[in-house]
Amino acid sequence: MGGAKNCPETPRQKMISMMYLVLTAMLALNVSAQILNGYALVNDSMKKNIQISDGKLENLGNEFDGLLHSDSIKANKVKPRVDSVIAQSDAFCDYITELESKIITTIMGDKNATELDPSMNGDLNVASQIGLVDKPDGKNTNAAILKQKMIEYRDFMATIDTAKAKSIQSTFSTDDLSATEKGGKARPWESGVFEDMPAIATLTVLNKIKNDVKITQSEALAYLIGSMDAGDFRVNKIQALAIPNSSYIMRGGKYSAQIILAATDSTKKPVITINGTPLEKDRYEFVCSSVGTKKYSGSMVLTKKNGETQTYNFESEYTVGEPTATVSADLMNVLYAGFKNPISVSVPGVAQNSIEISPSNIKSSSRTSTGWVVVPAKVGTPCNISVSAKIDGKSQHIATKTFRVKKLPDPLAMIEYTNAQGIKSRYRGNSFDKAIAKPLLITARRIVAELNDSDLDVKYKVLEFSLNYFDSMGNTLIEKASGDQLNEKQLKIFREMTNRKTVYISNTKALGQDGISRTLPPLEVKIK
């Protein structure tokens, strides 16, 4: 509040300045006291949570010790990982406790002190000194060592339960802290924990880390104990089942079924009977000689430890059919020459990867994720698709389907324009769409060739076209273009057209996917 040399502060001004500074300091002390009390409450809460976590860890330890005696084979498989989790967690917590002890004993001036006197909670020097200045190994500060141990611990724990790896990485994050003031720079994690921090604040953060370690350790141990029985089957009833390899059998094929007990004892072999005849093994096989639905029944007799027997009855059925196949064109009941025709082929009871086709009159054929793609060679020559399937390890002919082969239909020349909604649309000419509004026509930029109202998804490439228009004397003028794009003169003609005027798109040549170039019918363009 001082002025220039020719205007020194008066005694009154100096007094006002001093009172302002005193008031500001008092306000700051008042806020700091509230913050320090808040940290003290959180710190006490963290200590209680650590005690609760210690209780949970003790219970988990007792549970695992019991499993080492009751189920030693399974428990010993996970014991090395359990021991590693305990050792890593204890070592990390011990280091944190050692760091806390350094801060407390240094502030209190008593090497036996275990608690910080509340009046010393606001100490701003010791935490910074111990965390950021002291270098126990002569090279790294305590804060750097703490950060490294934290990274090593979180990376190790993330390998125990990979499903929680992301959560563990977040819990033990050591990322830089974002700036607290506008335009400020991010602070290193170490500074956020120790630099210019009240002692109680640093102790609270350290106890928070220790509590996170305890919770993470508990979750890891619970996961490892639970994983011991992950591969076990638990059943509450015993049921006899007949499991066939396939319930649909072709004539001449082999029926195969496995007769099992849903809960079995590998030390005892049950006695199996099918239609009154004892079965020597647990697989029922025979050659199917007639078509139709067949049924059979039987029983399984199991001897108990006390010598008593228990009988379990079962029944099953299967269907025998004539060799057949379903072959269909995905588009129409014809195939198109030079075009990749998608084909679906299925044989009841046979997996797709066991089916093969042998087509005639084709350029190429290939298997896809849903079937096959067949490219016929000649128009007018039938394409015969022979289907075979691998059954019981042998290739068997199933059926043959014949398709007519036709030429791809010719497309229509269309004007591509943009409608009021910004969507690309097609004008097919006066024969289909009547007249077109001029605002829509002047958005046109190219000519396309497409099939009209067809299920075929065929792509055609426009090679060239002409725009026929009339001068004031009624003479026909022609403006040619290469490719599918309207040239500048053609666009100008569209812009200068008036109502009820007509022009024609003619001599449009388009190349189909079959490699054939065709000349398309004229396209009449009329302005509304």
Query: What span, in angstroms and rounded, lies between the C-alpha atoms of 412 and 523?
Result: 8
**% of residues, the chain, pLDDT over 90:** 38
How far the first Cα of the chain sits from its last, in Å, is 82
**Residue 318: beta bridge partners?**
294
Q: What is the pLDDT of residues 124-139, one digit of tens each?
A: 888 888 888 888 888 8
Least confident window among 290-299, 474-483, 504-513: 290-299
In this predicted structure, the answer to whether residue 405 has a pLDDT above a threshold of 90 is: yes
- Please, what sign has the CA dihedral across residues 71, 73, 77, 83? positive
**Single-letter code of the amino acid located at 54:** D
Q: What is the pLDDT of residues 21-33, one digit of tens each?
A: 444 444 344 436 7
Q: What is the pLDDT of residues 206-235, one digit of tens each?
A: 989 999 999 999 999 999 988 886 544 344
Least confident window among 10-24, 152-166, 333-347, 385-399: 10-24
- Specify whether the CB–CB gap between 450 and 411 falls below 8 A: yes
pLDDT of residue 245: 65
Query: What span, in angstroms and rounded, lies between the C-alpha atoms of 367 and 346?
Result: 13
Query: What span, in angstroms and rounded, lies between the C-alpha atoms of 149 and 103?
Result: 19
pLDDT of residue 328: 64
Q: Which residue would you say has higher pLDDT here, 474 or 386?
A: 386
Segment 424-443 mean pLDDT: 89
- Specify whether the CB–CB gap between 102 and 114 falls below 8 A: no
- Specify whether the CB–CB gap between 347 and 390 falls below 8 A: no
Segment 171-189 mean pLDDT: 73
Q: What is the pLDDT of residues 32-44, one digit of tens each?
A: 677 787 778 888 8
**% of residues, the chain, pLDDT over 70:** 84
- Token output for 231: 């591969």
Segment 385-393 mean pLDDT: 85
User: Smallest Cα–Cα separation from 264: which of 238, 287, 300?
Assistant: 238
Q: What is the pLDDT of residues 271-313, one digit of tens each?
A: 889 888 888 777 788 787 777 778 889 998 877 655 678 888 9
In this predicted structure, the answer to whether residue 267 has a pLDDT above a threshold of 60 is: no
pLDDT of residue 331: 57
Could you tell me how many residues make up the chain? Answer: 528
Query: What span, in angstroms and rounded, lies between the C-alpha atoms of 199 and 100?
Result: 10
- Token output for 425: 């649309």
